[in-house]
């Protein structure tokens, strides 16, 4: 990948990329624990852009090519990461956007709508949950994936991530070794920050539950979850959907902790329909 633009936000710098016409309504994609913006496939971003959005993807703090936090700095929170995302909107002169988050990105997306409600047109929370005492813990297999020690060599890093990806896919999605290996190698070569992964994980662990607060959400909301998710079990998504007034729950059979290609049309259609609800209400 060539150099990407960077924006100053909330005291740090965020690497980002945009897709689509800048005059279109913005849609912000927020990635999960330890993932980089390239975890949002270019094809997925282009498909969203083709539905009339200006799509923005970015590296969270402590991931990819955004600022890596010093080891002796005070711990940060998911609220800080939500403020990062809002700061990116400020830097891009975006008043409000459709907010789409996956996994940890879903936690952050929920906090954006709770902490900065005027910046959100719609909320889409995918393979995510309500955190803290309100959440359902990973299965033992999912917990083991979070606690794997950081490997030392490039090939070990790729192999470890391939193992994790294979376990996180649902039974309806066969594992494509060549595709996943190329994608993982690209991410490993772009940036590798296990210390940042642990700091993000600590932020997740410290986050309180949000179910009571989510009852105050007043924007159209969509919750997407697979029924075979071992990392964030599907009851997490069900609880979030039940807590947000009027939220739609899109539960996908055989999907794990991933948004595989086979569901992209269905998910993108649902996001576009949600955006239409926002336009109608305006």
Distance (Å, rounded) from C-alpha 28 to C-alpha 259? Answer: 16
9-20 b/e with 16+ CB inside 10 Å = b?
A: bbebbbbbbbbb
Q: How confident is the model at residue 282, as a pLDDT?
A: 38
Q: Is 54 exposed, middle or buried (0-12, 13-18, 19+ CB in 10 A)?
A: buried
Residue 229 a catalytic site member: yes
Distance (Å, rounded) from C-alpha 83 to C-alpha 115? Answer: 9
Per-residue pLDDT 10s for the chain (282 aa) are: 556 899 999 999 999 999 999 999 999 999 999 999 999 999 999 999 999 999 999 999 999 999 999 999 999 999 999 999 999 999 999 999 999 999 999 999 999 999 999 999 999 999 999 999 999 999 999 999 999 999 999 999 999 999 999 999 999 999 999 999 999 999 999 999 999 999 999 999 999 999 999 999 999 999 999 999 999 999 999 999 999 999 999 999 999 999 999 999 999 999 999 998 887 553
Pick the closest to residue 132 from 2, 14, 8, 240 (CA basis): 240
Judge contact between 78 and 108, C-beta under 8 A.
yes
What separation, in Å, do the N-terminal and C-terminal C-alpha atoms of the chain show? Answer: 39
Distance (Å, rounded) from C-alpha 185 to C-alpha 122? Answer: 33
Backbone angles phi, psi at 233, to 5 degrees: -55, 150
Strand partners, 14: 7
Show the 3-state SS of 73-134.
CCCCCHHHHHHHHHHHHHHCCCCCEEEEEECHHHHHHHHHHHHCHHHEEEEEEECCCCCHHH
Distance (Å, rounded) from C-alpha 130 to C-alpha 47? Answer: 28
Q: Of these residues, 103, 134, 225, 258, which one is catalytic? A: 103
Between CA 250 and CA 191, with CA 55 as vertex, the angle to 5 degrees is 95
Judge contact between 237 and 251, C-beta under 8 A.
yes
Distance (Å, rounded) from C-alpha 145 to C-alpha 38? Answer: 21
Q: Of these residues, 39, 59, 62, 257, which one is catalytic? A: 257
Q: Of these residues, 59, 80, 134, 229, which one is catalytic? A: 229
Sequence-ordered alpha helix ranges (H) in 125-233: 140-146, 154-168, 177-190, 194-206, 211-214
Q: How confident is the model at residue 1, as a pLDDT?
A: 52
Look up residue 257 and give its DSSP letter.
S
Residue 227 a catalytic site member: no
pLDDT per residue as tens digits for the range 194-229? 999 999 999 999 999 999 999 999 999 999 999 999
Q: How confident is the model at residue 2, as a pLDDT?
A: 55
Q: Is the dihedral of CA 260, 261, 264, 265 positive or negative?
A: negative
Pick the closest to residue 37 from 3, 12, 64 (CA basis): 64
Backbone angles phi, psi at 39, to 5 degrees: -65, -20
Residue 98 a catalytic site member: no
């Amino acid at each position: 990948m060539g150099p990407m633009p960077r924006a100053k936000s909330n005291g740090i710098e965020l690497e980002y990329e945009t897709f689509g016409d800048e005059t279109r309504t913005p849609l912000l994609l927020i990635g999960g624990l330890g993932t980089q913006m390239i975890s949002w496939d270019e094809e997925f971003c282009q498909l969203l852009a083709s539905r009339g959005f200006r799509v923005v993807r970015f590296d969270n703090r402590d991931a990819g090519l955004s600022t890596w936090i010093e080891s002796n700095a005070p711990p940060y929170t998911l609220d800080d990461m939500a403020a990062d995302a809002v700061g990116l909107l400020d830097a891009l002169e975006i008043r409000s956007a459709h907010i789409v988050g996956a996994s940890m990105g879903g936690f952050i997306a929920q906090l954006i709508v709770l902490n900065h409600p005027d910046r959100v047109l719609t909320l889409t929370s995918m393979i995510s949950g309500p955190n803290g005492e309100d959440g359902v813990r990973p299965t033992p297999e999912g917990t083991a994936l979070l606690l794997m020690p950081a490997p030392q060599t490039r090939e070990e890093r790729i192999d470890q991530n391939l193992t994790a990806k294979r376990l996180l896919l649902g039974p309806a999605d066969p594992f494509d070794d060549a595709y996943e290996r190329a994608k993982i190698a690209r991410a490993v070569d772009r940036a590798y920050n296990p210390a940042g992964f642990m700091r993000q994980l600590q932020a997740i662990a410290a986050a309180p539950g949000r179910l009571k607060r989510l009852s105050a959400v007043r924007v159209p909301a969509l919750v997407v979850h697979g029924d075979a998710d071992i990392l964030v079990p599907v009851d997490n998504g069900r609880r979030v959907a039940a807590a947000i007034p009027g939220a739609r729950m899109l539960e996908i059979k055989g999907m794990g902790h991933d948004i595989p290609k086979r569901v992209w049309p269905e998910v993108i259609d649902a996001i576009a329909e949600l955006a239409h609800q926002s336009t109608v209400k305006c």
